[in-house]
A and B are shown apart, each in its own frame.
Chain A
Amino acid sequence: MDETQRRVDEIRQESSELENHIIDQFIDGKITRRDFVRRGSVIGMSIPLLSFIAAACGGNNETTGTTGGGTATGEVSSGGNVRVALIQPATAPNPVIVKDEGGAGLIGSTGEFLSFSNAKLELEPRLAESWSPNDDGTAWTFKIRQGVKYHSGAALKADDVKTVFDTLSDPKNSSNALSALGGVLSPGNTEVVDDATVVFHLDGPNGNFPTLVSSANYNAIIIPSNLDPADWGKTFDGTGPFKLEKFTPKVGATFVRFDGYWGEKANPDRMEIKLYDDEAPMVNAIKGNEVDFVEHFSVSGGKALLDDPSVTVIAIRTATHRQLHMRTDKDPFTDKRVRQAIALSMDRNALVDGLWEGKADIGNDSPFAPVYPSTDTSVAQREQNLDQAKQLLADAGQSNLTVELNTWNGFEIPDLAQLVKQYASQIGVTINLKITDAGTYYGDAVFGKSPWLDSVMGITDYGHRPVPNVYLSSVYTSKGTWNAAHFKNPQADQLISEYIGALDLDSQRVAAKKLQELLLDETPVVIPYFYNFLSAAVPKLKNAVSAATGQFDLSRAGFTS
């Protein structure tokens, strides 16, 4: 018997039912190689193993799609000082309260996670060597890497993991991490079995759990149990390949290689993060050679970079999107025909090309982004159709409407709002724009005290998440805390819990298809696009890795001569 085949059989014998199921799906050609590797890594199979099986078993060709998520790999000189432009965080560097890209970038510079969610949405092991679910997905066991040291010299202990997740999952701490862990993991349910094993006992079956404790949950860096997160900003203590040299609030920080790192030592000698209040200065900085890497820039603000041949642009497909919600319980949007009409008035291709220079995927009014493996791509794409829209409005008896649209003035949102206004005017709907700032728009983020949740129509920004679970449960369920459309549909509720509990890709896709079709029909929310995450690097800088969550990994980066 073929040596490779024998090896594969061995592996399959050692694998769980779930893991075998995935291998079967791949061999049968039901999922692509890319999806196989991604899905497999999420449930805890190591990437080298997955690659081996994929090579051994043939399977489908890899579809084109995500770029690698980094600059071209190449020969680089060792050492060097990499300078990064990062947007100013709104809070102090406290891992529990950090809530934006700037904060995530800062804490991720020295802190490490159980696993790293890369640009292809695969999970690479870091402080966790491996993980696996129990039979119904209600408990996940993680093997913690041994012999890891913090920059301060202390040893990594399994207790540290427990402390971190007990803190993050506790509503009293109001961490941004609750958006991932709320309703999934409760405080106290993280169990330390021994020094090398931690078991998470979940509130319910969850097939995507490992992603929720990976770097995708950017608050979840592992820090010593006895370090108060509020003091973390003084030392930036972590286990990562870089350690802090100096931090000046509002200005930036410098880092040096950590020689006690458990893995391959960082290539650069130093890394420097410069904080910028705005995008324009960042764009100027890389063009003016004041930084080597811009963690994130937008299409509108960084047009100069997109057109510049001397700048390398790294584009990662993501699930970042905007939601145009319409309150299903208030006039004029109680009738779904009116909602559909609004959705049909929009020229999504023009939005993708005009607002994003083509660097976005078209959305089909559900949070199932094309980049997710569980998305069913056979569902028909909604296109602009002004005649049908006008007809629907006439049928609903609402041919001359006036509505107020609330939103805030960040990113491209004002542009989108103005375009939505124009499209609507073409079918006889007058939209009055009320654009304020984020604080005003979000208010207290509870019903009754937030224009976001109370307005008849609004635009909200949703950052990337590696799985759609949070969007579904928070936005579309009857009790969802982010349900700005006040959408209450028992069938949707049912399908959502089916999706979340599904442990394998097949069942996930089945539920997804039904949900996608339901949401397309009901249209409580219009989702016009999912746009790419863009980073920029100077051409001499190689191996700089970006992730759609806004974190970056420069440990392998270096300069060619």
Chain B
Amino acid sequence: MGRFLLKRLGLATITLFLLTVIVFFGSQVLPGDVARRILGPFADQRAVDALNHQLGTDRPLLTQYWDWVSHFFRGDLGTSLSYHAPVSDLVGNALVHSLKLAAFAFVLVVPLAVLGGVVAALKRDRPTDRIITLGGLSLTVVPEFVTGIMLILIFGLWLDVLPVSANAPDGSSVLTQMRYLVLPALTLVILLFGYIARITRAGTIEALDADYTRTAVLKGLPRRTVIFRHVLRNSLLPTIAVVATQTGYLIGGLVVIETLFNYPGMGRLIFTAANQKDFPLLASAVLIVGIGFLLATLLADIAYSLLNPRIRYAAAE
């Protein structure tokens, strides 16, 4: 187990390093001059050059890269060029919002999708299964803004039961905040349900067909016990993996939903930063999202191997 963990960590570190390189040099490709973006098109060129020098954007790229990375891992995320505020404040604020929405959607979709997947597997190839599978698939592939707009039209406009923006007034109770988050969270649930349900279904089917299940049934255990004690545990394994891979998206990829519902999350922060060539903000924010994803997958791998003895032993060889 130790060797496996070490190997995984090693790989993750290399990936992390590559990620920093990709993020840094990637954001350098954005067009437009940093000082020009801040001061606007009408600023004097001398002022622009002076600001560029002050911000250090005229130094060699490698120097800038090292500067950024070394500060980042010491906890100093730099200062936003367009907001003149510490990046950590901006990112922290946005992250909290993203996590709230992600958590809410998570709490709704995981039980729902797992239930759906298990039921679909138990009633394999019967109408219930087809409805759940195909229905889920159809909803998943539709772009979030389409689903979001539909929900806004139905619940926000025609039925007028839910608010159309995701921002509760300051100081609202948790329940009120949740009410404002219902539509965006629902959009996410619709998006993710099909995919998670399908993976769970596949895992459940595999578990149902496996030897140990048949053994348990032959031993005379009631079907219910078989399902809960053996099948479920194993069918959840791929679900964990899938949920982990969605983490990156849930934290940083919700640009569209955040735009639609005017929600100040990480996705929108990154989008605005890209448009303003706010390099420190952009790079640090994207890196955080990437790190979140790597962490999540690492944890998922560990959880997976802990729960599934076969992997553990295979890796140890």
Contact = CB atoms under 8 A, between A and B. Distances in A.
Contact of B164 (A249, A284, A442): A284
B34 to A, nearest CB: 11
B262 A277 contact: yes
A48 interface: no
B37 interface: yes
Contact of A281 (B48, B82, B165, B276): B165
Interface string B61-92: 00000000000000000000011110000100
B47 A278 contact: no
Contacts of B48: 174, 444
Interface in A413-470: 437-440, 442-446, 450, 452
B36 A444 contact: yes
B45 A446 contact: yes
A276 interface: yes
Contacts of A280: 262
Majority-rule SS of B interface residues: loop
B127 interface: no
Contacts of A437: 275
Interface string B161-177: 00111000100000000
Contacts of B46: 172
B311 to A, nearest CB: 45
A309 interface: no
Interface string B27-46: 00001110011111111111
Interface residues of A, number: 38
Contact of A276 (B82, B163, B262): B262
Contact of B163 (A97, A277, A288): A288
A281 B262 contact: yes
Contact of B83 (A249, A277, A446): A249
A443 B31 CA distance: 10
A171 B44 contact: yes
A443 to B, nearest CB: 6
A280 B152 CA distance: 13
For this complex, into which size category does the number of interface residues on chain B fall?
Answer: 20 to 34
Contact of B44 (A99, A174, A251, A290): A174
Given A249-B85, A281-B165, A437-B275, A450 B262 contact: no
B181 to A, nearest CB: 15
Contacts of A92: 83-85
B148 interface: no
Nearest to A179: B42
A443 B41 contact: yes
Nearest to A251: B264
B37 A439 contact: yes
Contact of B47 (A173, A179, A276, A443): A173
Interface string A168-204: 0001111010110000000000000000000000000
A174 B39 contact: yes
A438 B90 CA distance: 24
Contact of B43 (A90, A174, A281, A440): A174
Contacts of A400: none
A325 to B, nearest CB: 16
A120 B292 CA distance: 56
Interface string A333-366: 0000000000000000000000000000000000
A521 B55 CA distance: 49
Contacts of B84: 92, 94, 230, 233
Nearest to A285: B165
A92 B84 CA distance: 6
Interface string B91-126: 000000000000000000000000000000000000
Interface string A270-286: 00000011101100110
16 contacts: A90-B276, A97-B39, A171-B47, A173-B47, A174-B47, A176-B42, A277-B268, A281-B262, A288-B163, A440-B31, A442-B41, A442-B42, A443-B41, A444-B33, A445-B41, A445-B42
Interface of B: 31-33, 36-48, 82-85, 90, 163-165, 169, 262, 264, 268, 272, 275-276
The 10 A-B pairs with the shortest beta carbon distances in the complex, nearest first, are A442-B41, A174-B43, A445-B41, A174-B47, A92-B84, A281-B262, A174-B44, A445-B42, A171-B44, A249-B85
